[in-house]
Structure 1
Amino acid sequence: MTMQVYAFDLMPWPHLAEASYYPDSNRLYDPALGRQVYDEHFRQMELYEECGYDAICINEHHAKPYGLMPSPNLIAAVLTQRTKKIKIGIFGNLPALHANPVRLAEEVAMLDVMSGGRIISGFVRGVPQEFLAYSVPLAEARPRMTEAWDLVVKAWTEREPFAWHGKYFNFDRVSIWPRPLQVPHPPIILPADSDEGLEIAASRRVPTGSAYRSVGRVRAVLDRYRALARKHGWTPGPEHCHLVRHVYVAETNARAREEAEPHLDYFWQKLLSYHRGSLALMGQSPPPRPARVEKAEDVPLYEFDFDLCQKEGMSIVGDPDYVIREIRAQTRELGVGVFVGLFQFGSLPHPLAQKNIRLFGEKVLPALKRG
């Protein structure tokens, strides 16, 4: 299959002076600067379509500067009007936090109709901080998600009113208007890393993907996903396997590093540092720091190491030839058919983000499409 190339935008807050620790005071947020952040990201999203990317992906996060989209469906609604052809991936909504999954079904159906059938609907469990923010017991995360998922799909596909009486959600009459344009419904993805999440993805025959993990860790995740899928009587293809990477392209490897490294450092050390704060709230603490950080997965707990992230494949930063080789090598080794790049990350300024998006679109994307 021809590789699909998606762009994933977290829409992070780029103005932190210190590391973020959940719960963050919103005194750190400036609404005037926030308007500028939204405007710049929307312009970048329009550029993805102009440059030929296959999809724009967004997601839901709460109460932290890591991502400024507590309602990704609002962002998707804007994109239905500011783009014409590119797919819109909501990667994803957090069904376990939605008090009314019927409302979620209605909103995504509206988006699918408004976009002309371009929605990819992701469902995710969410990280512990989301449940702390909404005072939902973390132990209910998976069962709430799966029940809400089942209700949403039935609302999309059932042509007559029906009743729903589950453990968490109860409705005497469900019949949504509008219903989705895509038949039977928008494609669904479940990004997952744990055995529990992979079991759900495999049992429901939906694609999955892994972010912020080394090549070795992603291999283990996808091998487990494929094994679970075989148990459920099917074989995932490359189109079911997504790989997420930070990507930055410049004229030379040295210039790419110079331009990207400070903003990757901001991402790992100021945005993902919320993990440390939430561990404390849950009565846990990071493991003692080793003499040397040898696993790229440990970067959020300690300090950013550019060379280690490059070596482990978690970031792909370099000139066009390097980026092409690395993406091809990783996707072929892992059997991945959908590459998802974070082309705007951390505190990367708008001009550099635009440059990155354009250069990747001009120099890298055509080569990946050729195979």
Structure 2
Amino acid sequence: MKFVLFHLMPYRDLNFDEAKKYRSVWTLMPNSAYDPKKGADEYEEYIDQLVSGERLGYDVIAVNEHHQTPYGLMPAPNLIASALIQRTKKVKIGVFGRALPLVNNPLTIAEEFAMLDNMSRGRLITGFVRGIGAEYHTAGVNPALSHGRFYEAHDLIVQAWTRTGPFAYEGEHFNFRYVNTWPRPFQQPHPPIWVPSQGSSETIRWSADPERKYPFVVTFSTADAVSNYLKMYRQEASRFGYEASSDQLGWAAPIYVAETDERAREQARIPIQRLFNNYLPMPWEMLLPPGYSSMASTMALAKVRTGIGVQEQTLEDLIAKGTVVVGSPKTVIDRIASMRDKTGLGNMICLHQFGTLSNELTRRSMELFASEVMPALRSKTPVPAAAE
């Protein structure tokens, strides 16, 4: 297995009593609640945590993009990636991922990623997403155009990386008389592209297409949903006439490791519950605005999310559903190994800092995971799961 040290960079000093006055901290929480001095401290510590991932042996250190929310302080993840590149030498740098439909000029993403790929001498892994439903409100983009803008922006970016310019691009959503990206990517034909998702069937089918075969990462989902979505990916690959490899399958989850199960639960309880009950929640009309997903995908997502982001959940609820992985090294090893053997997944995306978890506890969990969990899971060969 490969291990990704992933970070959301939440604003931990949020006044949660004040936040309850609003339907969601996404979009609606006034930015007067943000203290720049405390925010600056958060950026410094969070970047340090990610940089330590190279020393600890993670294969990738990764960031992502969110807008107008204390859930994640990275509206421009390319800036964080640039800082990480300058402070590391060998570890891969992941940006999981840029929300393509929210931008009006996808060529800026092509240029930024090409720059990062050159600056890192080929260590960049890119991630493309459609963005959280609430972010269509913040960007002023019609969610009914989400899929079309995503696919077209992707095609434009890949062409900008791989075709000799200048050339013209004419699409339904984007039109450019001159496409001539300088610099070109360091990796040829272009940096790897991963696709994190909540589980849209359209996105799974698109990612598995033989023209792409993009690694697909299931995020913030129950164990049953993770298994079902990765199985769906393997089924789509089979329909396309090939067998999906473990490198194409990923799972992203909050992970906390302590010396014992009891201590892990005690230390992770409040921060985990803050994440799921205070940072994530939003009304359904913000999470899934009309047109954002097909009716079939919307109904399927409503069934499998079982309360994530829409109702109060305890740590015990989240552990029982398999949404989070919390426990001793043995418990964590067994939990991840079980999912790996069931699905054949090869990429574990580890969210070690979550909610209000302190710097000290985050670093202790990372150290235990790196010293006890990763070696045990690396030593075992994944068992390919049947596509059925």
The TM-score bracket by the shorter chain reads over 0.9
Corresponding position: 1:205 with 2:213: yes
CA contact 1:247–1:342 (8 Å) conserved in 2: yes
Q: CA RMSD in A?
A: 1.8
Higher relative contact order (CA 8 A, sep 6+): 1
Residue of structure 1 equivalent to 2:322 = 313
* Letter matched to residue 66 of structure 1: Y
Cα pair distance change 1:43/1:97, threshold 3 Å: same
CA contact 1:59–1:90 (8 Å) conserved in 2: yes
SS in 2 for 1:131: helix
Q: 1:274 deviation in Å?
A: 3.1
Q: 1:299 deviation in Å?
A: 3.9
SS in 2 for 1:260: helix
Deviation readout 1:208-229 (Å, 9 max, x if unpaired): 0111211211121112222222
Corresponding position: 1:79 with 2:84: yes
Deviation readout 1:152-194 (Å, 9 max, x if unpaired): 0011111232110111111111111111111110011112301
SS in 1 for 2:4: strand
2-structure distance, mates of 1:300, 1:95: 23
SS in 1 for 2:225: helix
Correspondence 1:133-282 to 2 at 5 A? 133-192=138-197, 193-203=199-209, 204-275=212-283, 278=286
SS in 2 for 1:311: helix
CA contact 1:21–1:277 (8 Å) conserved in 2: no
Residue of structure 2 equivalent to 1:6 = 4
Q: 1:119 deviation in Å?
A: 0.8
Cα pair distance change 1:239/1:275, threshold 3 Å: farther
CA contact 2:134–2:287 (8 Å) conserved in 1: no
CA contact 2:60–2:91 (8 Å) conserved in 1: yes
Q: 1:278 deviation in Å?
A: 2.6
2-structure distance, mates of 1:69, 1:299: 22
1-structure distance, mates of 2:195, 2:188: 19
Deviation readout 1:226-275 (Å, 9 max, x if unpaired): 22222333321111000111111111111111111110011011100234
Cα pair distance change 1:251/1:218, threshold 3 Å: same
2-structure distance, mates of 1:216, 1:333: 11
Structure 2: runs of 5+ lacking an equivalent? 291-302, 381-388
For residue 32 of structure 1, the aligned residue among 29, 37, 43 is 37
2-structure distance, mates of 1:4, 1:128: 30
CA contact 1:328–1:368 (8 Å) conserved in 2: yes
* Letter matched to residue 202 of structure 2: E
SS in 2 for 1:297: coil
Q: 1:355 deviation in Å?
A: 1.1
For residue 363 of structure 2, the aligned residue among 354, 358, 365 is 354
SS in 2 for 1:186: coil
1-structure distance, mates of 2:283, 2:94: 25
2-structure distance, mates of 1:5, 1:280: 30
Corresponding position: 1:128 with 2:133: yes
Residue of structure 2 equivalent to 1:291 = none
Residue of structure 2 equivalent to 1:57 = 62
* Letter matched to residue 24 of structure 1: M
CA contact 2:133–2:287 (8 Å) conserved in 1: no
2-structure distance, mates of 1:360, 1:310: 18
SS in 2 for 1:164: strand
1-structure distance, mates of 2:315, 2:376: 26
SS in 2 for 1:191: strand
Residue of structure 1 equivalent to 2:385 = none
Bigger mean CA offset, 190-199 vs 124-133: 190-199
CA contact 1:296–1:309 (8 Å) conserved in 2: no
For residue 101 of structure 1, the aligned residue among 106, 114, 117 is 106
Deviation readout 1:98-141 (Å, 9 max, x if unpaired): 21111110100000010111111110011111111010000111
Deviation readout 1:24-62 (Å, 9 max, x if unpaired): 110111111000110010110111111000111211111
Cα pair distance change 1:263/1:229, threshold 3 Å: same
2-structure distance, mates of 1:13, 1:88: 22
The alignment of Structure 1 onto Structure 2 pairs a total of residues equal to 358
CA contact 1:47–1:357 (8 Å) conserved in 2: no
Q: 1:281 deviation in Å?
A: 8.4
